[in-house]
Amino acid sequence: MYDAPFNPFYQNVGIIKNYFKKPIVLILAILQFVSLIGSAIVTFALPSWLTPLMEMANSELPSEYRQILSFSSSSSIVSFIPSLALGVLLGVAYLLVFIKSKNDNPNASPKAGFMILFILSIIELVSSIIACAVLVLIFFILIIALGASGMLSSSEGIAGVAAIIMVAVIYAFLIFFLLFYSINKLNYFKSVKNSLSSIELQNKGAGAYGVINMIMAVFVALYTIILIFIAFMLGGANPISRELVRLYPNVSLSSMLPILIVLIAMMLISVVFMVLSAILALGYKKYINNIKYNYRAPSIPEQPYQPNPVTAQMPQPVYPSPAQPFVPQDPQQPVPSQQDFASPQEPYPQNSTELPRYNASDIDFIVPEEIDSYSCPTCGNPVDFDAFFCPKCGTKLK
């Protein structure tokens, strides 16, 4: 179905669909929708989760920091709406890719799903660039504010600047890492999308995207282990939980456990999602390389020679064999003289008559005289050669 030589696009569409019809694509779509449910739970339960933290910080944090915590809990709901829309589009894109790839109809192309993934990659790349610009802006504003307040002249101010620089370097590394990840993700989905509408199979960015996903999965797994340790400390009977109860008797630590468990579940889903995405991307790179470098055109079985029955009955021409076979000349031997060569002409047979030979002096060349006049066909009167009528009888001559 996809091997039609007159339409190579069908062949590429079939190759891409044959890879992305794997169940791993459907699992990615399901994990994305489950992750959205967890994000909704965390977002709407965040104010109740921050309440114990704010009660614990009432006696230690200034009022400005408490206002920042309350503002973050209210703004998280507003920022959840665009992230929810983008998350739904991501799940729909993977679902479209899987459904179209499972369809055996060659006109059913998964290009729409990869187009959505390509657009989401552009949005992620633009967000990374904006985050880099905002980070640089915040860094310079903090340095200018510290210099204007005179804190740079004191040891505490210098220590604060050093802490700010350290935090800025860490965030810059993370953002540039995310920027590199977004660029390769964009190239990966762009390559798949272009392969569906061209005669060339592309896998640019697939390898780097898969490796970065594996690295991110390791970091998220470490963060998940830390969350599991915190949940164990808060929920179990251990010295840390007893000390927290003694310091904050009015704070219910058990109320923080449900949202913490949801966070751990979301982190585990993210780890699985990244690992599966890495496996899919690295497998795609290997799959396309095997096709590009190991493809062989279908061999045509050799048919035995069968002469045409019409031409087989026709007399075949007989070509005379050369008088002397061609022998390559040794460059070390001298060039033979003219008399060493045999005459190319064979003598006439004895029973044939030899053709007469003439010299140029024996032939008389007859040159006709120039004709100036001729006779009239009617009366016989001589007339000029260029005359149109006979001057005697008036007969038309031409």
- Is the predicted pLDDT of residue 203 greater than 70, yes or no? yes
Distance (Å) of CA 378 to CA 199, 298, 374, 388? 87, 87, 12, 14
pLDDT in tens, 212-240: 999 999 999 999 998 888 777 776 666 76
pLDDT for 180 beyond 80: yes
- Give me the mean pLDDT over the 293-299 stretch: 54
Is the pTM above the cut of 0.85? no
Asked whether the predicted pLDDT for residue 183 surpasses 60, the reply is yes
pLDDT of residue 295: 52
Domain boundaries, the chain: 8-292
Highest mean pLDDT among 278-282, 339-343, 362-366: 278-282
- 342 — pLDDT class (breaks 50, 70, 90): very low
Given pLDDT bands bounded at 50, 70 and 90, which one contains residue 199?
confident
Structure confidence by residue, pLDDT tens digits, 299-334: 556 667 676 676 666 666 666 555 555 556 566 666
CA dist 374 and 369 (Å) reads 13
- pLDDT, residue 233, reads 75
User: Could you tell me which residue, 140 or 12, shows the higher pLDDT?
Assistant: 12
The dihedral region occupied by 117, where left means phi > 0, alpha psi between -120 and 50, and beta the remainder, is alpha
Distance between alpha carbon 2 and the CA centroid of its chain, in Å? 20
Residue type, 362: D
Residue 348's pLDDT is 47
Q: Which one is predicted more confidently, 259 or 241?
A: 259
Most confident of 37-41, 303-307, 339-343: 37-41
Residue 323: what pLDDT?
53
> Mean of the per-residue pLDDT values for the chain?
75
